[in-house]
């Protein structure tokens, strides 16, 4: 696996593995721990709750891990709801080590497109091959750099812009330059017809020095050597919700804490909160 953003995919996989083994799991991913154990950089990370010494109190594997578990569940629900409403084309932008094409119960004839770098997709496929995983939908992978023009890779492999699409940008936009985020939004709009949707994650506000010195970011550096703040793009973020609305999309932004309340578990607000700026957007194409 590559350094940098590639290692954050392992971080999310470890969090999903831990969540999967909780008795009150919000989401289950039986493949996640295989990715963690297969990469030298993460081979010693926890993959079960009992392997986290401080349990739920641990800022990284407890609080941030629960955030990733909640995010997984909410976005799973969104994609499956779209599929059961008739959408048969799903695109995972920056798919990372996500295994929705294998672990979700898709309706017949669903196609799940995964877009990510060649290195991430190759590592992922090698691990999946060892587990003899069988996809539950038609799965197509596309190697592309999402900072550049990625649409051609999708179109050349059978993506149909005339069919409704459920787009997902999970844990992606924070790492893109502002120009790449704007290009991504414009491309999604260009390739979407009526009935399409987009779910994505953003930070709505800039974080204070107190937040950036807080336990989540500190724990990630100290425990697993990932400087999340250094990976986040430092430019002012575009108003993607506003840009989608200007293009005619209907957009709703939600705090993760709304879903903590809905499901009865997940992270809750705290002082100098690294999760307070995070919002999940759900947009529907016009028509």
pLDDT for res 44: 95
Q: Enumerate the β-bridge partners of residue 278.
A: 203
Q: Which residues contact 188 (CB under 8 A, 6 or more apart)?
A: 167, 198
State the chain's mean pLDDT as an integer.
95
**46 domain-assigned:** no
**11 domain-assigned:** no
pLDDT for res 207: 87
**13 domain-assigned:** no
Is 271 strand, coil or helix?
A: coil
Q: Enumerate the β-bridge partners of residue 201.
A: 280
Range of the structural domain that residue 136 is part of: 69-284
Identify which of 140, 188, 200 has the alpha carbon closest to the alpha carbon of residue 161: 188
For the chain, how many structural domains are there in total?
Answer: 1
**158 domain-assigned:** yes
**277 domain-assigned:** yes
Axis crossing angle, helix 256-263 with helix 65-84, rounded to the nearest 10: 80
**54 domain-assigned:** no
pLDDT for res 235: 85
pLDDT for res 173: 95
* Residue 168, Ramachandran bin (φ over 0: left; ψ between -120 and 50: alpha; else beta): beta
Q: Which residues contact 261 (CB under 8 A, 6 or more apart)?
A: none
Axis crossing angle, helix 5-20 with helix 215-224, rounded to the nearest 10: 100
CATH number for the domain harbouring residue 164: 3.40.50.150
Q: Is the dihedral of CA 282, 285, 286, 287 positive or negative?
A: negative
**93 domain-assigned:** yes
Please, is 194 exposed, middle or buried when counting C-beta atoms within 10 Å of its C-beta (0-12, 13-18, 19+)? exposed
Number of H helices, E strands in the chain: 12, 7
Q: Enumerate the β-bridge partners of residue 92.
A: 114, 168
Spell out, as residue ranges, where the chain has pLDDT lower than 50. Answer: 2
**62 domain-assigned:** no
pLDDT for res 119: 93
């Amino acid at each position: 696996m590559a350094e940098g953003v590639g290692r954050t995919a392992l971080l999310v996989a470890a969090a999903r593995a831990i969540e999967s083994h909780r008795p009150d799991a919000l989401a289950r991913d039986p493949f996640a721990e295989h990715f963690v154990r297969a990469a030298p950089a993460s081979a010693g990370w926890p993959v079960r709750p009992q392997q986290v010494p401080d349990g739920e109190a641990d800022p990284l594997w407890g609080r941030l891990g629960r955030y990733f578990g909640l995010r997984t569940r909410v976005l799973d629900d969104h994609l499956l709801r779209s599929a059961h409403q008739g959408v048969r084309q799903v695109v995972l932008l920056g798919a990372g080590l996500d295994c929705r094409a294998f672990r979700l119960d898709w309706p017949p004839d669903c196609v799940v497109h995964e877009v990510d770098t060649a290195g991430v997709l190759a590592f992922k496929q090698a691990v999946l091959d060892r587990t003899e995983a069988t996809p539950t939908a038609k799965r197509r992978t596309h190697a592309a750099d999402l900072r550049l023009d990625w649409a051609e890779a999708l179109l050349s492999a059978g993506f149909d812009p005339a069919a409704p699409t459920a787009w997902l940008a999970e844990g992606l936009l924070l790492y893109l330059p502002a120009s790449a985020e704007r290009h991504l939004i414009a491309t999604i709009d260009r390739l979407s017809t009526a009935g399409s949707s987009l779910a994505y994650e953003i930070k709505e506000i800039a974080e204070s020095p107190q937040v950036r010195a807080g336990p989540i970011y500190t724990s990630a550096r100290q425990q697993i050597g990932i400087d999340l703040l250094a990976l986040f793009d430092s430019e002012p973020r575009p108003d993607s919700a506003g840009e989608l609305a200007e293009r005619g999309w209907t957009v709703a932004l939600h705090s993760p804490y709304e879903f903590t309340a809905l499901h009865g578990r997940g992270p809750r607000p705290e002082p100098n909160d690294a999760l307070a700026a995070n919002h999940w957007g759900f947009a529907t194409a016009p028509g």
